[in-house]
Structure 1
Amino acid sequence: MRTRPSARWRTRVDEEATEVSAGTLAASDAFLAELFPESLLAATDRALLAFESDVRVLGALDDEQVFEAIKRVVLVLNEINEAHDGAGYETGEREELCLYIDQTLTEHGIDVPALASRRGIDRTEITDDWRDW
């Protein structure tokens, strides 16, 4: 299983806090705890965990079921982003989340390029119908 983006973000926050504590980074130069507040990290982690559970039981059964799982996680991530003033996920985070969704599907036996193709879209567009972030 791939590392969730939220886990990587939490690690970066922790590393920055360690640098500030060690005196190798000025507190005024630290920004990651503000960029990734615990509320964002925890909510994102819960959303991705639920998505993983959804996909685990799906397999490659039915395109509509797979897209319903994608839709559910994207709508929850929309809510999380909105709860953080629409600034929870910037460009880099958006890309990480989309890649994570794609890779999670792939790891569970879903042929994402074929799935997307059957819908007439590119694999990079599988979240686009619902994504606000």
Structure 2
Amino acid sequence: MAERPTTVWRQGIAEEADELAAGTLDPECGCMAELFPEHLLTATDAALDAFERDLVGAGQMDDVRVLGVVERVVLALNAVDEAHKGQAFETDERELLCDYIDESLTEHGFDVIALTSRHGLGKYQITNKWRKW
């Protein structure tokens, strides 16, 4: 099952907190909680929750419907990023989100490579048309 990026970020926050508490990490080097405040994680999870609900039956959807599902999650994540002054998702976060979208579609029976090929897109370009983050 595709691992949510927010799960990875929460694990990083917890690991960093443990290291800070144990004194094995210099407090000046701790940044995870600042990079991923709870309101960012909650908003991102809400967008991903809606995406997962929309994915039910993706394997039987036509391209237009699947692209609509992708568009909705990307626009929701754009709104999260905009609410955080365009600084919510940096390169690593973008890659995790895009991988999550691709893997989730695949797990729900949709052939992402065939879809992107039919629409003249590269393998990892399914979000590019709408993505601002």
Decide whether the 8 Å contact of 2:106 with 2:112 is kept in 1.
yes
**Residues 60-79 of structure 1 mapped to structure 2, 5 A cutoff:** 60-79=60-79
**1:64 shift after superposition:** 0.4
Decide whether the 8 Å contact of 2:48 with 2:73 is kept in 1.
yes
Worse-superposed segment, 71-80 or 28-37 = 28-37
Query: CA-atom RMSD, angstroms?
Result: 1.0
Worse-superposed segment, 15-24 or 71-80 = 15-24
- Specify the alignment match of 2:12 in structure 1: 12
- Specify the alignment match of 1:21 in structure 2: 21
Decide whether the 8 Å contact of 1:7 with 1:45 is kept in 2.
no
Decide whether the 8 Å contact of 2:58 with 2:109 is kept in 1.
no
**1:26 shift after superposition:** 2.0
**1:72 shift after superposition:** 0.2
Aligned-partner Cα distance in 1 for 2:125–2:34:
30
Aligned-partner Cα distance in 1 for 2:70–2:60:
13
**Residues 25-36 of structure 1 mapped to structure 2, 5 A cutoff:** 25-36=25-36
Structure 2 residue 97 is the aligned partner of structure 1 residue 131: no
Contiguous gaps of at least 5 residues in structure 2: none
| Corresponding letter in the other structure for 2:90 | E
Decide whether the 8 Å contact of 1:60 with 1:66 is kept in 2.
no
Query: Displaced runs of 4+ in structure 1, greater than 6 A?
Result: none
> Taking every aligned residue pair, what percent have the same amino acid on both sides?
53
Aligned-partner Cα distance in 2 for 1:60–1:78:
27
**1:53 shift after superposition:** 1.3
Aligned-partner Cα distance in 2 for 1:88–1:60:
33
Structure 2 residue 77 is the aligned partner of structure 1 residue 82: no
Contiguous gaps of at least 5 residues in structure 1: none
- Specify the alignment match of 1:97 in structure 2: 97
**1:3 shift after superposition:** 1.4
